[in-house]
A and B are shown apart, each in its own frame.
Chain A
Amino acid sequence: MKVNSRCARLWLPLLMLLSLVLAACGGGSSSSQGQTLHVLVGYNSTYSAQQKQWMQQITSEFQKATGATIAWDTFSSSSEEQTKLQTSVVSGSGPDVFSFGTTFVPTAQSTKGFTTLTDQDWKLVGGKDRFFKQQLTMAGSSPNQLIAVPFVMRPFAMVYNKELFQKAGITTPPTTWTQFVQDAQKMTDPSAGVHGAEIDPSDSFDPWKIWWMFAEQLGGSFISQDLKTAQMNSPEAVQAIKFWFDWATTYKIVDPNSMAWKAGDATQAFANSKVGMLIMVTPTLTPTLQKSAVAGKYAFAPMPTIPYGMQQRPAGGVPAATIVSGDMLAVADYSNVKDLAFKFINLVTDEQHQIQWTKTFGDLPVNVQAANSLASKDPQTAAFIQAEQGATPTPFTGVWGPLEVALAGVSSKLANEVATNRYDPSHIKPLLDQANQQIQGQLH
């Protein structure tokens, strides 16, 4: 009896703990076994109702086709997305399908947590020919090491206010950055709170995209061709950043009080008819602008590709106007329902669903047939699709994610200096040196 009592003392707590652990783990394990596909996508705050409807429709169609159900999960910020991805990779459990931006694919691949698609897998998702070739350049480190399937694309362009253009006597959008600055100066009227252009140095993403574009056009690159050397402190990179901050400090074409702005603040200013030209925007901006003071008074155009003060690009300069941009879908390596995952991707990237997505959410289709179909009916869509076909891919390296964050840090520090009247262009190089050194330390 005494022995039984001792045993009970020892085993009871252990059993309690075990039952708690099993209860905690129960939710995750049963889902995969029960033929449920877990999908993680970004939350669309602009079209939340439509997104919910789309999820219901896809779930219903998927269930009809496969008998399996879909459990949706969403993330509302890149921070949340990264945390979920990191947790899933380490724990070996989580969503079966991840949706993430094209520039995050290299970092995702470096974690070795995603399935490399075989030829058979590509057949299951509709074949490589279904997708734009340019998009596939960001789907994996090499053509036979692709981990992601294109889902939607968002080429970048500039949007301009036609009314302000007309008032300033400008007939066509600028094709060089010199023209851009001149046009912006013509439109700037500080007394009316109107500025020809805008910057958002406190945004997490816009600064690096814009600097990357300027640097590429000047013949520079943030990472060497062989992906082994960080070149973020090159003269081209310094010149690119200086030119952007010159908009505020030298050319006076932007709101001098915009140092704390993020992308949304710049968009808002454009929507309020206070900005002549807004660069690095995507067609998904359209619904917001259509409900604003500039409804019907704006147009999109490609961004200039000739550096400031030049008539043509210097040797080695690339006519980079947009990165290969959009969202991709990748299947987690730990997933035990990969076939279902590929069927899901096949469903959402077929022609009909891609057209439906574009009409609902504004992103462009990655499905070639869907894109051609839409382009034949709408010249604006055709222009964006053409821009995407000429898009320049960012270097495919696992440090690209940290590099983006590092450049956001440089931008924040420089904005800090401008805001407190301590800005000096000579401070750019030391900041880039520091960022470059640390990114170099992460390059493999």
Chain B
Amino acid sequence: MSIQPIPETVPAPTAVLRPKRGRSRAPSGRPMWLMWPSILLLVVIIGIPLLIAVYISFLHLDQYTLRSWLQAPWVGLSNYVTALTAGNVIGASALVSLGVSLGFSLLTTLLITPIGTLAALTVNTPYRGRTFVRVLYLVPYVIPTFVTALIWRMMFLNGTGLVDRSLAAIHVANINTYWLLGPNSFWAMVIADTWASWAFIYIMVLAGLQSISSDQYEAANMDGANSWQKLTRIVLPQLRHVLGLALLLSTLYHFNNFTLPFVMFGTPPPLQADVLPLNIYVSSFQLFNFGLGGAMSVITLILMLVPGFLYIRTLRLGEVTAS
């Protein structure tokens, strides 16, 4: 008995309709000009600050020139060179921080994906107490990040924290193992973030699972499929898109996570936990080197455009809107 995988549905090619020149009216007759307030607000809230950030990245902007920042000396690409080579005085260079951020975001995403998926599968079919379990699963996700970070900070304290006490009790590690300093700080950050964010994958996957028609399960049952076959031939293929989107969003979210390392380690953080957002913050707002911070931000933006582009492609935003 074999179950054929359900062919992936390929959206029919849609004709791209070119807007008519002149009047800003969509082919469907919708008054597109009503979007102007939103567009103007986006320009004010996102566009102008973005341009200012790019401009600042070329300036020697510090506490002396902050007030009249438009007159700050132009230094060309030197902030970018500093960002990629020296970094700020207390932390790592942007490249090192980039490595930390990438490792942190990819590893966390990698860890939360199976956890979230398995959790979603456990509450997909009805049973007594399912609602309670669903609510329980959401607890880590709804706790504010700074509270999560504080709790984990206390748990990771060397000697007195729950982690060290537990590991020492089962003779796995010394009771004075440092988690908030040194190489372990990276793992402490990953563990805390995994605990806090696996529910995001759970929510996304559960939504995907709920959209799978029960007819397909019934048909599989009639064909004598076992649970594993249903999972691999029905569920996972249909979750591919939603899971892909969840992975992208998760990676982006973890890459930009500032609160967790900021609260867990404070400033200056250990080098191994000096993620890019924290490095930018310290450079700009504590060392008053706004030019350097601006350069690091622009570098981050360029890097984030890559998964951002993938995200848009995954959603096929343009095509859906056009159709």
Segment of A179-187, A214-222, A315-323, A401-409 engaged in the interface with chain B:
A401-409
Most chain B C-beta atoms within 10 Å of own C-beta, residue among A111, A405, A408, A435: A405
Least Cβ–Cβ distance between B181 and chain A, in angstroms: 4
Chain B residues near A241 (CB-CB < 8 A):
none
Any chain A CB within 8 A of the CB of B105?
A: no
Segment of B34-42, B129-137, B190-198, B201-209 engaged in the interface with chain A:
B34-42
CA distance A113 to B285 in the complex (A): 16
Question: Contact partner of B37 among A16, A415, A416, A435, CB < 8 A?
Answer: A16
Any chain A CB within 8 A of the CB of B217?
A: no
Least Cβ–Cβ distance between B106 and chain A, in angstroms: 24
* A416-B89 in contact (CB<8A): no
* A13-B181 in contact (CB<8A): no
CA distance A302 to B89 in the complex (A): 33
Any chain A CB within 8 A of the CB of B236?
A: no
Q: How many residues of A contact B (CB 8 A)?
A: 46
Any chain A CB within 8 A of the CB of B63?
A: yes
Chain A residues near B180 (CB-CB < 8 A):
202, 260
* B181-A420 in contact (CB<8A): yes
* B288-A257 in contact (CB<8A): no
Q: Which of B10-66 contact A (CB under 8 A)?
A: 33-34, 36-37, 40-41, 44, 62-64, 66
Question: Contact partner of A259 among B62, B67, B181, B289, CB < 8 A?
Answer: B181
Any chain B CB within 8 A of the CB of A438?
A: yes
Chain A residues near B122 (CB-CB < 8 A):
none
Any chain B CB within 8 A of the CB of A204?
A: yes
* Contact string against A for B residues 125-159, beta-carbon threshold 8 Å, 1 for contact and 0 otherwise: 00000000000000000000000000000000111
Most chain A C-beta atoms within 10 Å of own C-beta, residue among B37, B180, B268, B269: B268
* A408-B90 in contact (CB<8A): yes
* B181-A112 in contact (CB<8A): no
Name B's interface SS: loop
Least Cβ–Cβ distance between B45 and chain A, in angstroms: 10
Any chain A CB within 8 A of the CB of B267?
A: yes
CA distance A110 to B33 in the complex (A): 48
* A259-B63 in contact (CB<8A): no
Question: Contact partner of A419 among B41, B181, B269, CB < 8 A?
Answer: B181
Question: Contact partner of A111 among B67, B178, B269, CB < 8 A?
Answer: B67
Known: A110-B63, A398-B64, A416-B182. A406 touches B266 (CB 8 A): no
Least Cβ–Cβ distance between A90 and chain B, in angstroms: 6
* A438-B63 in contact (CB<8A): no
Question: Contact partner of A420 among B183, B268, B287, CB < 8 A?
Answer: B183
Question: Contact partner of A82 among B41, B44, B64, B285, CB < 8 A?
Answer: B285
Any chain A CB within 8 A of the CB of B91?
A: yes
Chain A residues near B266 (CB-CB < 8 A):
202, 204, 262
Any chain A CB within 8 A of the CB of B232?
A: no
CA distance A414 to B316 in the complex (A): 50
Any chain B CB within 8 A of the CB of A224?
A: no
CA distance A204 to B62 in the complex (A): 21
* B271-A413 in contact (CB<8A): yes
Any chain B CB within 8 A of the CB of A285?
A: no
Most chain A C-beta atoms within 10 Å of own C-beta, residue among B40, B69, B285, B286: B286
Q: How large is the interface on B (under 10, 10 to 19, 20 to 34, 35 or more residues)?
A: 35 or more
Question: Contact partner of A402 among B34, B37, B286, CB < 8 A?
Answer: B286
Q: Which of A135-171 contact B (CB under 8 A)?
A: none
Question: Contact partner of B63 among A14, A16, A107, A434, CB < 8 A?
Answer: A107
Known: A111-B67, A260-B158. A83 touches B285 (CB 8 A): yes
* A409-B90 in contact (CB<8A): yes
- B176 to chain A: closest residue by CB: A257
* A416-B271 in contact (CB<8A): yes
* A17-B63 in contact (CB<8A): no
Chain B residues near A202 (CB-CB < 8 A):
180-181, 266
Any chain A CB within 8 A of the CB of B282?
A: yes
Known: A90-B69, A111-B66, A420-B182. A401 touches B288 (CB 8 A): yes
Chain A residues near B269 (CB-CB < 8 A):
412
Any chain A CB within 8 A of the CB of B270?
A: yes
Least Cβ–Cβ distance between B168 and chain A, in angstroms: 13
Least Cβ–Cβ distance between A6 and chain B, in angstroms: 10
Chain B residues near A260 (CB-CB < 8 A):
157-158, 178, 180-181
Known: A90-B67, A401-B63, A439-B89. A20 touches B41 (CB 8 A): yes
* Contact string against A for B residues 68-88, beta-carbon threshold 8 Å, 1 for contact and 0 otherwise: 010000000000000000101
Least Cβ–Cβ distance between A346 and chain B, in angstroms: 27
Least Cβ–Cβ distance between B218 and chain A, in angstroms: 52
Question: Across chains A and B, which 8 residue pairs bring their CB atoms closest together, nearest first?
Answer: A409-B90, A13-B36, A438-B89, A420-B182, A13-B37, A409-B268, A419-B178, A406-B89
Contacts beyond the supplied A9-B33, A405-B286: 13 A-B pairs with Cβ under 8 Å: A16-B37, A110-B64, A111-B63, A257-B159, A398-B63, A401-B286, A401-B288, A402-B89, A405-B282, A416-B182, A419-B181, A435-B89, A438-B88
List B residues at the A interface (Cβ < 8 Å): 33-34, 36-37, 40-41, 44, 62-64, 66-67, 69, 86, 88-91, 157-159, 176, 178, 180-183, 266-271, 282, 285-289
A-B contact pairs, 30 of them (CB 8 A): A9-B36, A13-B40, A14-B40, A17-B40, A90-B67, A110-B63, A111-B64, A111-B66, A111-B67, A113-B67, A202-B180, A257-B176, A260-B158, A401-B286, A402-B287, A405-B268, A405-B287, A406-B90, A408-B90, A408-B267, A408-B268, A409-B89, A412-B268, A419-B181, A420-B178, A420-B181, A420-B182, A434-B89, A438-B88, A444-B64
